[in-house]
Amino acid sequence: MSFLVLGIDLGTTSVKVAVIDSENQQVLDVQSENTNADIVSDTSPLGSEQCHLKILEACTTCIQRLKDEHRKHIGRIAVSGQMHGVILWSSHLITAHQIDDCLDLSSYQDDNISPLYTWQDARCSEDFLTTLPQPDSHLNLATGHGCATLIWIKKNIPSFFGSNTNVRFDCAGTIMDMLTAILCGLVKPVMSVQNAASWGFYNTVTNSWNKQILQNTGFPINLLPNVIQPARKVGELKASWLGIPKGAGVGVAMGDLQCSILPHLISDTHAVVNVGTSMQAVFKCPSDFKPTRCSLPQALEYFPFFNGSYLTVAASLNGGNVLAATVKMFQQMMEAMQVPQEYFTDEKVITILMEKGKNVTKTDLKINPTIFGERHAMKKKGDVRNITPFNMNIGDLSRALCSGLMENLVDMLPREILCTAGITRIVGCGNALLKNEILQEELKRVYDLPVEMATDDVNAAVGSAIALAIFWHTSEK
């Protein structure tokens, strides 16, 4: 019997929700709301932190916009979101809200909830990471990874976790894991393999945390969530939620990368390039593939996908966030020149950049836009080269910026690797790519392969709902 699946994506800048039909995966509704959740870190000048309550409020707003008729027929809830990050809370948060009638996310504000330390957190310097033991995993450790962030906090702010007689936190997970714990009333959080791998110190072959290695660093291993496979049932909705019936099945939270590209990887000969806040190029590994640490160049990684399979991933930290930083730079210039604010909204500035850039088909201005570094090269910075009086204009800058983003991606995942893997076509997706014709042109240029753009922005909320429609399993194994 057909029922509806709700997909929720707790992203870096916005929350998206989608409703699909479980039988044919038809998308019935999509809603989005910016979170404006960034807060100033009071623990590190290099920290990237967000307020969990603003994220939950944006989630509530999106669901309230869905049609009543859709909400009351939701039978499963899928959750995805920003990978790598970590938030801590007390299990008291769950037990103190064991309500039977109506679930209200706005009530989950408590002193015993930490900020969300996002994937962009840069407090773990390269020097700090070299002091940590080598993980028993094929995946490298980087700043922004949940385990690395927790080790840094333990070493630098030991009082943060409380005392032996007054433990402040006894739960940790991604922001998505906290949401599923709230929805299902879980005292002990449960995490998917996809997010555990993104935390560091997790072996995806043996499906186990590196507990002894972590314990030797002083890591509070009691905070490690239980781990199950993606698209598995983690519990049931403990109370009616904004018209969604109590008892709806809830899946373990999944990675936004895997959910974003799931609808687009329709063939083993296709690769997917997704550009959102960051940027990823992805293709599927053979079905019997098992990862090893030395299998790939440093810039590439193997991420868990679905049904025990893996993806080959070039995950750049630089994508739409670079364009957003450029927009902010122009806004600051115009503000300094006392231009009225209505003339330099985000939309107007990016529109001008794109229009001017489309008029420049080629430029000798060179921009290396890796202003956020890369996980495999943390000290990497951006630079501008070959400036002349003839290319110091908005059009050349826009073209060079988009060209530089794609040149960085092809450096991480060379065309030769795609061709060796049998990739014959690239599918482009992600809001930042679909709305930017210059990025699309540069993607085609650097890879010199057929490129097709997704017809619309099928986001991680849609992908997570599809995952629960086609891979759903009620057992943990």
User: d(Cα 398, Cα 353) in Å, to the nearest integer?
Assistant: 6
Which structural domain, as residue segments, surrounds residue 157? 4-257+460-470
Which of 401, 466, 459 has its CA nearest to residue 430? 459
Instruction: Determine the Cα angle at 9 with ends 8 and 11, to 5°.
Output: 155
333, part of any domain = no
Global pTM reads 0.89
The string of pLDDT tens digits covering residues 24-69 is: 999 999 999 999 999 999 899 999 999 999 999 999 999 999 999 9
Report the 10 Å Cβ neighbour count for 4: 24
58, part of any domain = yes
37 neighbors 85 (Cβ within 8 angstroms) = no
Give me the mean pLDDT over the 331-342 stretch: 92
User: d(Cα 12, Cα 73) in Å, to the nearest integer?
Assistant: 29
Query: Number of structural domains, the chain?
Result: 1
* Percent above pLDDT 70 for the chain: 96
Give me the mean pLDDT over the 118-135 stretch: 94
Confidence of residue 378 (pLDDT cuts 50, 70, 90): confident
168, part of any domain = yes
The mean predicted confidence, pLDDT, of the chain is: 92
User: d(Cα 160, Cα 113) in Å, to the nearest integer?
Assistant: 11
Q: CB-based burial of residue 249 (10 Å sphere; 0-12 exposed, 13-18 middle, 19+ buried)? A: buried
Residue 357: is its pLDDT beyond 90?
A: yes
208, part of any domain = yes
pLDDT for the residue 321: 94
Phi, psi angle pair for 368, to nearest 5°: -100, 105
* Percent above pLDDT 90 for the chain: 83
74 neighbors 242 (Cβ within 8 angstroms) = no
pLDDT for the residue 460: 92
Confidence of residue 97 (pLDDT cuts 50, 70, 90): low
**What interhelical angle do 320-336 and 394-412 show, nearest 10?**
160
Residue 266: is its pLDDT beyond 80?
A: yes
pLDDT for the residue 341: 86
48, part of any domain = yes
Quick one: tokens of 79?
A: 């959750």
Instruction: Determine the Cα angle at 156 with ends 151 and 161, to 5°.
Output: 70
The string of pLDDT tens digits covering residues 207-248 is: 999 999 999 998 999 999 999 999 999 999 999 999 999 999
246 CB-near residues (< 8 Å, 6+ apart): 100, 236, 237, 238, 239, 240
Residue 291: is its pLDDT beyond 80?
A: yes
172 neighbors 195 (Cβ within 8 angstroms) = no
The string of pLDDT tens digits covering residues 450-477 is: 999 987 767 899 999 999 999 998 765 5
Q: CB-based burial of residue 111 (10 Å sphere; 0-12 exposed, 13-18 middle, 19+ buried)? A: exposed
446, part of any domain = no
Query: For residue 228, what is the domain's CATH number?
Result: 3.30.420.40
363, part of any domain = no
Q: Which residues of 118-152 are buried (b: 16+ CB within 10 A; e: fewer)?
A: bbbbbbbeeeebeebeebbbbbebbbbbbbbbbbb
Better pLDDT: 97 or 138: 138
177 neighbors 79 (Cβ within 8 angstroms) = no
User: d(Cα 441, Cα 447) in Å, to the nearest integer?
Assistant: 10
115, part of any domain = yes
Scanning the structure block, which residue is given the tokens 């025990």?
A: 308
User: d(Cα 12, Cα 118) in Å, to the nearest integer?
Assistant: 8
211 neighbors 124 (Cβ within 8 angstroms) = no
Which of 285, 308, 279 has its CA nearest to residue 428? 279
Mean pLDDT lowest among 6-20, 87-101, 204-218, 462-476: 87-101
User: d(Cα 62, Cα 79) in Å, to the nearest integer?
Assistant: 14
